Structure 1
Amino acid sequence: MNPLQARELVIDIPGRSSGQPLNFTVGPGEIWGVLGPNGVGKTTLLHTLAGLRPPRSGSVHLGGHSLVEWKRRQVSKQLGLVFQDRQDGFPATVLETALIGRHPWLSPWQMESAEDVGKARAALEALDVGQLRDRLVNTLSGGERQRVAIATVLTQSPDTWLLDEPTNHLDLHHQVAVLGLLRARARKGCSVFMCLHDLNLAARWCDHILLLFPGGEACWGESRQMLVPGALERLYGQKLRTAEIDGAPVFVPAGNSDPQSS
């Protein structure tokens, strides 16, 4: 398993003159959650870590080597990315879409084997969309399409998972199921790095947290150190009330939206 590292990484946010350099390592078995208000650069960070956008400065390393030294096929074997929004460029069934996850492992013009198809079918079943395998993706609901996207990465079998709002469009049952699947992958040695909006999901499922503040400031560390009311209220400009359920903190917004006013 190759750790993913940000070294003096400054992501390129239009209109922002600078930003705090990021230096962190996403190790095997770890689940990282990225929190911050809208427009702070969470998606840009994810795309930069995947090698889809160049950083303003610094570098991303995979297994000790700069990401730019890797061929894209090698990167695709190591990193799997779930986008926040997807566009269906051409009609494809759910099974055909999941099989895209096997493409990094195939040579040019090589057809998927029965084993590849079996992996795709198993992934769809794991995401509770196996019964939809013959449906066209563009006929599915938002939640169903989200689960197909995650099943595609599961079919890909990367060591590192990068996910942008993986619980987007999902009902409560499927949110828990997806996060449980990601925890199971982490327990098998995979690394998980995901952007989230829900503080309570982050508190329950993530062992490391990265906070991105407006203006470019950032801090990161173990969840118990990061998920404290003072930092979170400053992050969102929102007063919070906290409780604890089953050993995990729970955050709810207080009536006053300005944490500095009381």
Structure 2
Amino acid sequence: MATLTAQQLVMDVPGRPAGRPLDLTIEPGQRWGILGPNGAGKTTLLHTLAGLRSPRAGQVLLDGRALPALSHRRLARQRAVVFQERQDSFPATVMETALIGRHPYLSPWQWEGREDHRRALAALEALGLTPLRDRLVSTLSGGERQRVALATALTQAPSLWLVDEPTNHLDLHHQVAVMALLAEQADRGAAVVMCLHDLNLAARWCDHLLLLYPDGELCFGPAADMLVPSALEALYGQRLAVGQVDGAPVFVPTGGLPANKE
């Protein structure tokens, strides 16, 4: 299990004034959603939390240690990053790609063993990819490639998931399956942080939310406290109608501007 902490963190977004510093602790078992309009900096924040981008100020700690102080191997064993888009540098099958998740546990020149293959096969099954195990990733659809990326992260067995748009390119069935899988990882003790565009998926599956506004301002807390129409309308510049389905709020854009913009 892993605890991720941001201390006085300011993202480095070129051409944008520094926003309010972020002091945030993400605990094991929590499911965090990062919400905001296009260009608000969701991906930049996720990459900064992952240690892939240097902040303008402040620091990120994993289990109390600053990310730059941790070895690449330790980071790779503890945190998985799933990007919104990806490019394949070399031809590889679905199975070979999933096995990349085991590389942090192998010594140089060591081949994957029986347990590594078992974990990869289990991940492919969890994402509904078993029939595609011998297909080249380059021949897959966008949704299938997204599921391969998630299967690779699942094979990695991280205690911290940082996922940029986990439902990107996915149909409704696979959107629900992927969100349920991430919720299951949190139930098993992992910390899960994901950037989301779908407000209703966030309302259904996240227990904490961070709202990132275009001017760099932000607010965060338990999902029940963040799912306030006035805050969400200001976030998206869109009036929302609110309903309930199975006890969870459902938000529908009405096409109008928020009251304070009229």
Report the TM-score, using the length of structure 1 for normalisation. Answer: 0.98
Pairing 1:212–2:233 present: no
2:105 is matched with which residue?
A: 105
Q: Give the corresponding residue for 1:188.
A: 188
| Structure 2 gap segments, 5+ residues each | none
Task: For 1:184 and 1:120, locate their aligned partners in 2 and report how far apart those are by CA, in whole Å.
Answer: 17
Match of 1:17 in 2: 17
Q: Deviations over 1:88-145 (max 9, x none)?
A: 1111000000000000111111110011011101100100011101000000000000
Contact 1:238 1:259 in 2 (8 A): no
Aligned position for 2:7 = 7
Deviation at 1:17?
1.9
Contact 2:2 2:190 in 1 (8 A): no
Structure 1 segment 28-67 matched on structure 2, within 5 A: 28-67=28-67
Who is 2:202 aligned against?
Answer: 202
1:106 & 1:78 partners in 2: Cα distance?
Answer: 14
Paired position in structure 1 for 2:244: 244
- The answer as to whether partners of 2:99 and 2:117 remain within 8 angstroms in 1 is yes
Give the corresponding residue for 2:150: 150
Q: Which runs of 4+ in 1 moved over 3 A?
A: none
- Once the two structures are overlaid, the 10-residue window that deviates more, 17-26 or 199-208, is 17-26
Task: Write the deviation string for residues 207-244 of structure 1: whole angstroms up to 9, x where unpaired.
Answer: 00000001110000000100110000000110000001
Aligned partners of 2:227 and 2:188: how far apart in 1? 26
- Aligned-pair identity (%): 64
Query: Structure 1: how far apart are the matches of 2:215 and 2:184?
Result: 35
Instruction: Name the residue aligned to 2:94.
Output: 94
In structure 1, the partner of 2:141 is: 141
1:80 aligns with 2:80: yes
Equivalent-residue separation in structure 1 for 2:17 and 2:237 (angstroms): 22
Question: How far off is 1:258 after superposition?
Answer: 4.4
The CA deviation at 1:156 is 0.1
2:85 pairs with 1:123: no
Q: Could you tell me how far 1:261 is from its partner in structure 2? A: 4.7
